[in-house]
Every structure is written in C-alpha cells, then in structure tokens.
C-alpha cells in the first residue's frame, strides 16, 4: 500500500471522528423521559403526600371516632323532641344527672348545673335525665333554672332510670372517658364543680 493511500485513510477517519464528536456536543433536545414505572419507585413519603404537601411531610392520620362503651349505648328524646344519642359522647367523661321537677334538692343543684355545664360542654358534657313527673312540669323546671343550654332528656317512662338502677333523685352518675361508672349518688354543688373540673383537667 502506498504512503499516499495510508495518509488519505487516516485523514478520512479523523474527519469522521470529529464529525461524531461535534454532533454529540451540539445536540440539544428535551430531557430524557423517565422509564415507565419510575413513579412507583418514588419514596413512600412522596407518594403519600397530597397536593401542596411538601415532600417528606407525613400525611395527617384520619380521625377515628371512639367506640361507644356499653354505658353510652342509648338513645332518647330531649324535652324539646330532639333525638339524642349518647354514643356521640364516647371518649369523654360524662355526667348524667337524674332529676325530678318537684324535687327541692334538684332545684338547689340546678343552679350549679346551669353555671358549669356551658363551661365544660366540650370536655365533660352534663346530661340531665328528667323523670317522676309530667312533661310540662319538666319543661317549666328547665326554663326556671336556665337549663336549656344542656341536653335534658324526657324519661317519664323511667327507661334510663331503670337501666342505671337509679332509685332516688337527685342522683349524679359520672362515667369516665373509658366508659366506667366512677360515681353514682348525691353530690352537692361544690362537690359537683370540683369533680367536673378534675375530669376536665
């Protein structure tokens, strides 16, 4: 092979290599697309984040309602005819107050109930359960002592009184947040206020 032929082939090869390098360095185009399935490989935190949630921030856990204990599995009508379900109070301490409209002791305690019930409505609900009287007298009692801001159940038939084995008025029945009865009996105004404050704390 002649020297001229060898030089010519080397020159041709050099030109070809230069052309390839130039094409690679000048190529401009869109970013390469991620392969199918790349999204599934993202971190669990990123995948669970909702719109507007920073990557790595755990999503808020759903609120699960408390399971109603046996003591709060009852429904009744209030004195104004509204359906009341005690199961909605699950997870909170609850005070059930059994009263009668003609009871002088109940009347003396009504002032305390009317005073503290609104304050602890969201933390320690107080529910009145009226019995041993007629409905009109019960409604007048609620109006006289300004008890309309708290649920007052109409138990003229004595269903709830028998359920909780209440045999006299006035009786306070205190249920803790786990559904256990921790007190059943008489409480004066001062004792009631002290117990409710402790439960709320």
pLDDT in tens, 93-148: 999 999 999 999 999 999 999 999 999 999 999 999 999 999 999 999 999 999 99
Q: If pLDDT is split at 50, 70 and 90, which confidence band does 174 have? A: very high
Same domain, 74 and 118: yes
The answer to the question of residue 90 being in a domain is yes
The answer to the question of residue 64 being in a domain is no
* Residue 97 near residue 170, CB atoms below 8 Å: yes
116, exposed or middle or buried, with CB in 10 Å at 0-12, 13-18, 19+?
buried
Same domain, 25 and 101: no
The answer to the question of residue 57 being in a domain is no
Q: If pLDDT is split at 50, 70 and 90, which confidence band does 198 have? A: very high
Same domain, 83 and 162: yes
CATH number at residue 74: 3.40.30.10
Same domain, 77 and 42: no
Same domain, 109 and 185: yes
* Alpha carbon distances (Å) from 159 to 56, 76, 100, 109, 155: 54, 9, 14, 23, 6
Q: What is the pTM of this model?
A: 0.68
Same domain, 34 and 76: no
Same domain, 160 and 100: yes
Mean pLDDT of 4-19: 40
Mean pLDDT of 169-178: 96
Same domain, 195 and 157: yes
pLDDT tens string 52-102: 444 454 555 554 456 899 999 999 999 999 999 999 999 999 999 999 999
Same domain, 14 and 87: no
Q: Which of 63-80 are b and which e, b meaning 16 or more Cβ less than 10 Å from the residue's Cβ?
A: eeeeebbebbebebebbe
Residue 119: φ, ψ to 5°: -65, -35
The answer to the question of residue 136 being in a domain is yes
Q: If pLDDT is split at 50, 70 and 90, which confidence band does 201 have? A: confident
Is residue 40 classed as helix, strand or coil in its secondary structure? helix
The answer to the question of residue 58 being in a domain is no
Same domain, 16 and 109: no
The answer to the question of residue 53 being in a domain is no
Same domain, 145 and 90: yes
Same domain, 35 and 110: no
- pLDDT at residue 160, rounded to an integer: 98
- pLDDT at residue 59, rounded to an integer: 54
Checking if the pLDDT of 185 tops 50, the result is: yes
Q: State the residue range of the domain holding 178.
A: 70-200
Q: How many domains is the chain built from?
A: 2
């Amino acid at each position: 092979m002649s020297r001229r032929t060898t030089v010519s082939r080397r020159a041709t090869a050099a030109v070809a290599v230069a052309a390839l390098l130039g094409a690679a360095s000048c190529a401009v185009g869109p970013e390469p697309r991620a392969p199918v399935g790349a999204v599934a490989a993202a971190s669990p935190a990123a995948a669970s984040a909702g719109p507007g949630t920073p990557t790595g921030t755990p999503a808020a856990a759903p609120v699960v309602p408390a399971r109603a204990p046996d003591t709060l599995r009852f429904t009744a009508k209030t004195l104004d005819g509204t359906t009341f379900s005690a199961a909605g109070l699950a997870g909170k301490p609850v005070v059930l107050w059994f009263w009668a409209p003609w009871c002088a002791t109940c009347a003396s305690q009504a002032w305390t109930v009317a005073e503290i019930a609104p304050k602890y409505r969201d933390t320690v609900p107080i529910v009145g359960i009226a019995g041993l009287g007629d409905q009109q007298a019960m409604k007048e009692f609620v109006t006289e002592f300004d008890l309309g801001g708290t649920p007052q159940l109409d138990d003229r038939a004595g269903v709830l009184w028998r359920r909780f084995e209440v045999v006299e008025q006035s009786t306070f029945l205190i249920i803790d947040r786990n559904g256990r009865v921790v007190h059943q009996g008489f409480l004066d105004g001062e004792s009631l206020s002290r117990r409710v404050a402790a439960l709320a704390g």
